[in-house]
Structure 1
Amino acid sequence: MELHNIILKLQETRDVLLGILDGLNSDQLNKKKDSSSWSIGQVCQHLIKTEELYIIAIRRGLKSKDDSIIGNKPLEFLLDRTKKLEAPDIAKPTDEIVEYGEIIDALNKSREKLHDILNTLEDPSILNKRQFTHPVFKEMLLIEWVRSLELHEQRHIKQIIEIKDTL
């Protein structure tokens, strides 16, 4: 049941994101408020890269045969935008100009890959038993990887709204 609820929240959050992005033109997607900031398109690139990296981590964690003894970590700190988090280089966006259609396609494809892996689990409770080491948050149960994706996206939705308000 827990995974089902997380998947529903992931979908609700993605629907909010797609609603915010709906109708944005190339200039709105690619404009930065300053040289050290990301554009809306770059935030979306980051979300896509992060989701794809998480999928790899979940797959690797599922290959483990050992049950984890770690407990759940509080993840709500991800929603606090007053605390700046530096994205690892591998998850940083490019400076390429992005178009609405390609961003939406890439968001849909990365989410489809996530659903593919989650929907093929014979026993979803395995996500509560296996772990994989996150580069920033250290050891995390695989269910937390999935849950943190939703919180991460909520964090960046706030960022996108802030950027959009300055356009």
Structure 2
Amino acid sequence: MELQEINQKLKETRDELLGIINGLNGDQLNRRKDPHSWSISQVCQHLIKTEELYVVAIKRGLKSKEDSSLEHKPLEFLLDRSNKLEAPDIAKPTNEKLENEEIIEKLNNSREKLNEILNTLEDPSILSRRHFTHPVFKEMLLIEWVRSLYLHEQRHIKQINEIKDEF
């Protein structure tokens, strides 16, 4: 999958997320089903933290001078919400209650940082030739780091819609 296609998917997925969040008030954003589940605000915090961490990982991977011989990994399993995944501590949300505008601003900032890297690449194919170790999925090509971002976000949009259905 080419970077251009991935960028389009990133944009479509983010637009869908922003569309959902836009219509919610503070109570809806911060309500939790139980103490062990995340609120919509916390899901968004997790998405923001994840994107910021991915930016750091991609930058580190780009510093490598040697080409990777890794095969592409199938990432569609990310969309299967029956397959529970535990977020690493570094990507877990806090209990801070965030309002709509703050969430949207933070989502926009994290995406801006990602776009800065992607838009300044002289040769985008380098993303398919460099890798970095993911804490959960192990060795991954940088292009897959980028691709997994929109799949991860789509997974959490499903979660947000499940939370919304409980209102």
Question: Considering the TM-score relative to the shorter chain, is it more than 0.5?
Answer: yes
2: distance between equivalents of 1:19 and 1:97? 20
Q: Report the AA paired with residue 5 of structure 1.
A: E
Structure 1 segments, 4+ long, off by >3 Å, are: none
Aligned counterpart, 1:25: 25
Aligned counterpart, 1:49: 49
What does 1:135-154 align with in structure 2 at a 5 Å threshold?
135-154=135-154
Normalised to the residue count of structure 1, the TM-score between the two structures is: 0.99
1: distance between equivalents of 2:76 and 2:59? 24
Q: How much has 1:22 moved relative to structure 2?
A: 1.2
The alignment's C-alpha RMSD in Å is 0.7
Aligned counterpart, 2:131: 131
2: distance between equivalents of 1:129 and 1:116? 19
1: distance between equivalents of 2:96 and 2:17? 21
Q: Report the AA paired with residue 135 of structure 2.
A: P
1:71-113: per-residue Cα shift (whole Å, max 9, x none)? 1000000000000000000000000111111000000000010
Q: Report the AA paired with residue 76 of structure 1.
A: E
Normalised to the residue count of structure 2, the TM-score between the two structures is: 0.99
What does 1:79-158 align with in structure 2 at a 5 Å threshold?
79-158=79-158
In structure 2, stretches of 5+ residues that fail to align are none
Q: Report the AA paired with residue 153 of structure 1.
A: E
Alignment coverage as a number of residue pairs: 167
Amino-acid identity (%): 75
Q: Report the AA paired with residue 137 of structure 1.
A: F
Q: Report the AA paired with residue 143 of structure 2.
A: I
2: distance between equivalents of 1:103 and 1:22? 10
Aligned counterpart, 1:71: 71
2: distance between equivalents of 1:115 and 1:5? 14
